[in-house]
Amino acid sequence: MSPVIRMERIQRVVDVMLVVLVDVEQDWYLKHLVEV
């Protein structure tokens, strides 16, 4: 496997993780707002 493909794959995984993190944080924030 070439380094370029590996880098692209890592970048994709990082993007997905960031999206999931942001989604979870927004969800928590909204729930918190609703509670207060």
- The pLDDT assigned to 6 comes to 92
Question: What are the tokens at 25?
Answer: 């944080």
pTM over 0.75: no
- Structure tokens, 33: 């707002």
**Predicted local distance difference test score (pLDDT) of residue 8:** 94
Q: How many angstroms separate the CA atoms of 5 and 3, rounded?
A: 6
Q: What is the pLDDT of residue 20?
A: 94
Using one digit for the tens of pLDDT, what is the confidence trace for 1-36? Answer: 688 889 999 999 999 999 999 999 999 888 888 876
Which residue shows structure tokens 């880098």? Answer: 7
